[in-house]
Amino acid sequence: MKIEAVDLFYLSMPEITDEADGSQDALLVRVSGGGLIGWGECEAAPLPSIAAFVCPKSHGVCRPVGESVLGQTLETPADIARISALVGYNSMDLLQAPHTLSGIEMALWDLLGKKRGEPVWRLLGYRQALRKTPYASLLFGETPDITLERARAARRDGFSAAKFGWGPVGRGEVAADADHFAAAREGLDWDAHLMVDVGQIFGEDIDAAAARLQPLDDAGALWFEEPFDAGAFEAYAALAARGAQVRVAGGEAAHNVHMAQHLIDYGGIGFVQIDCGRIGGIGPAKKVADMAVARGVTYVNHTFTSHLALSASMQPFAGLSESHICEYPAAPKQLAEQITANHIRLDGDGLIAAPDAPGLGMEIDPARLVPYLVETEIRVKGRVLYATPTL
């Protein structure tokens, strides 16, 4: 079959806040071919990602993403890799291209899985989708008491693991952060995994990050996520060498396989966290998952938005027994909830698995999304390059 159309839909909550919450807007991707439809989601600002799909050519290797995708043949997983490589070369100077491609690539896997009647994880070579331990992905509260209540709520909701991130942590004194870590542990109790994400707050300040290691160890934290800028490999390695029990984690900012590989090989991380909506899609994420296994690093998905993105993020490590912890967006905005008509729910044991259904196994009901649709038009020299398609 040929890729006949790629439609991009800018969706948004009525009001966008300063929260570090990526579920407030979305770029939904619909790919059509052979009478079937595949769906994907970009984890990026929607408008520049749309622009990367339609922008005028600047030169030979700064072409719009759409030029390398539309009309291409899609019959096998190798075709998805071929299309991705074509985008990578033709749009190498278009820095938003990996984000735009990521949602399209997801949709191509969804489309191919539907054509073959197979879940994506089986197309990737796995025999089964193993159950994972989902962790409630939450933000720190403004006070330790709020963090405590959020942790208790996660346990009431059936989670045996939770990650707290961003908020006030890293912006004040070490003692204040330690109070938040202790509150999270108290709320979860000691039989649950606790992870902490500080959202690159320390830049390259190794000493500031290291000052949090003992409080993290005191709280029994499993990992310390993104203490530094994404490319600060020396800082990551220096912190990992401090000898704390808590392991360093990172990788969600990787926009290609090489960025993830360097963080593993030179950054000394113990957990590599990959977002299929940023790295170029499911195929590159699977390469990182295989690499992680070979290097003794635990692979973890990264997703904080919809269950379409959640399903996509689970595919690359669906069959890996070594990597069993899975990020789960526990408190997304209403938009993210509405993107799919079905959801990946915790089973009676508090575990989840990638859907055993063709493609990504998620159902999109366009009518649910109409209230969030942002009508958009991109016009250059009087010519309309993009106008919001019919949803």
Residues 212 and 266 in one domain: yes
Distance CA 226, CA 163 (A): 13
Residues 24 and 103 in one domain: yes
Which three-class secondary structure state does DSSP give residue 49?
A: helix
Residues 177 and 66 in one domain: no
Residues 95 and 242 in one domain: no
Among 185, 111, 119, 188, residue whose Cα is nearest residue 154: 188
Distance CA 260, CA 249 (A): 11
Tell which phi-psi region holds residue 145, choosing left (phi > 0), alpha (psi between -120 and 50) or beta.
Answer: alpha
CATH number of the domain that residue 161 is part of: 3.20.20.120
Mean pLDDT within 25-38 = 97
What average pLDDT does the chain have? 96
Is the pLDDT at 20 greater than 80? The verdict is no
* Residue 23 confidence (pLDDT): 84
Tokens of 152: 């208790």
User: pLDDT band at residue 304, thresholds of 50, 70 and 90?
Assistant: confident
Residues 76 and 138 in one domain: no
Residues 70 and 160 in one domain: no
Confirm whether 254 is domain-assigned.
yes
Confirm whether 359 is domain-assigned.
no
Distance CA 172, CA 175 (A): 8
Residues 108 and 171 in one domain: no
Residues 140 and 104 in one domain: no
Of the three residues 339, 354, 377, the one that is the final residue of a domain is 339
Distance CA 279, CA 44 (A): 11
- Total count of domains within the chain: 2
Decide: 8 and 49 in contact? Cβ < 8 Å.
yes
* Residue 296 confidence (pLDDT): 96
Is the pLDDT at 117 greater than 90? The verdict is yes
Q: What is the pLDDT of residues 178-195, one digit of tens each?
A: 999 999 999 999 999 999
Is the pLDDT at 81 greater than 90? The verdict is yes
| CA 287 to chain CA mean position, Å | 15
User: pLDDT band at residue 209, thresholds of 50, 70 and 90?
Assistant: very high
Confirm whether 355 is domain-assigned.
no
Is the pLDDT at 356 greater than 90? The verdict is yes
Burial of 291 (0-12, 13-18, 19+ CB in 10 A): middle
pTM of the predicted model as reported, rounded to 2 decimal places: 0.94
Tokens of 246: 């808590």
Residue range of the domain that includes 83 = 5-117+367-387
Is the pLDDT at 21 greater than 80? The verdict is no
Mean pLDDT within 348-374 = 96
* Residue 187 confidence (pLDDT): 97
Confirm whether 226 is domain-assigned.
yes
Percent of the chain with pLDDT over 90: 93
